Each structure stands twice: as structure tokens, then as C-alpha cells.
Amino acid sequence: MTTEDNQTNQSATKAAAKELFMGTVRELVWAYQAFRSYSDAQIRQMGLTSSQFDVISTLGNTPGMTFHKLAEKTLTTKGELTGIIDRLEKKGLVRREVPKEDRRSFLAVLTPEGEKVFAETFPAHIAYLKERFALLEPEDLPQIEAALVKLRSIFEKVPI
């Protein structure tokens, strides 16, 4: 690489770092990391991982879901979901069922013990999160949600 190429790269790097949206990106990442750290701390105290809690919370109050639908709702891949379901099965919280209408797929269904864990952990975790969200003004929530929806929409289904 020539000195001129190196200077051009350094100039481009400095310009990229000064993009107006970079502050937003940093705050978004920091907000997510702070939320995840706060949330995960309590979930671990309940003996679950955040992914396990997400699956149990999603399956709660349902008759079960196909792995495909569950993967969409929990934002995990089917491959990741299989491992999560395996571990929840070993804990006796979830079982696999083959639906009569489609014998090629599986349903993930909470066991009675899984329903009990859902009934205990879900309201407790929502109350835990509510302590922090209560620090916001109620009128802030729709504005924050709208901004996040708008941000998500510009990244969804972008052709690569």
C-alpha cells in the first residue's frame, strides 16, 4: 500500500466515524446492552437463560407452536431453537408434539411444570422491568416505540 493509499484510507475512516448517525448507533447498542444486562441478571436468578425465558414466555398461554413460528416470535434460528428446546425438555419444562395435520413438523408445548414456571416467572419479570420503565414519563413510551419501529423498518428485508 502506498503512502497516498494509506492517507486516503485514513481520511475515509475519519469521515465515516463522523457520520451523523454514528451517535444514534452507539446509543442504540449501549441501550440494548444495558437492557440485556439488567434483564438477564434477574432471569438467571430464576434458573433460566434469556433464550429459555424467551421461549417459555412465548409459549405461555398458548396451546403450543410450531418450531417455525416459535423461531419467528423469539428471533432465533430454527437451529438455535432446537438446542434451547432440547435443554428445556431436559428440565421437564417443554415437550415436542407431532401435530396430526402436519406429521413433518413439531410443536413445542409447555409441560405442566413449564406452565408453572411461566406463571411464576413471567409476571415477576414484567414487574422487574416495570420498575425501570416507570422512570419514564408515560407519554414517552409511544414516542420511543414509534422511533424504534421506524428504525427497524429501514433495516428489515433490505436486499443484500
CB count in 10 Å sphere of residue 79: 8
Mean pLDDT of 16-30: 94
As a whole number of angstroms, the distance between CA 76 and CA 54 comes to 10
Mean pLDDT of 40-61: 96
As a whole number of angstroms, the distance between CA 8 and CA 16 comes to 12
Quick one: cell of 121? Answer: 416467572
pLDDT tens string 81-126: 999 999 999 999 999 998 777 777 789 999 999 999 999 999 999 9
Closest CA to 55 of 22, 35, 77, 30: 77
As a whole number of angstroms, the distance between CA 71 and CA 89 comes to 16
Are 103 and 111 in contact by the 8 Å Cβ rule? The answer is no
Quick one: cell of 42? Answer: 434477574
As a whole number of angstroms, the distance between CA 76 and CA 53 comes to 13
Mean pLDDT of 61-70: 92
Q: Which is more confident, 89 or 1?
A: 89
Please give the CATH number for the structural domain made up of 43-136: 1.10.10.10
Q: Domain-by-domain residue ranges, the chain?
A: 43-136
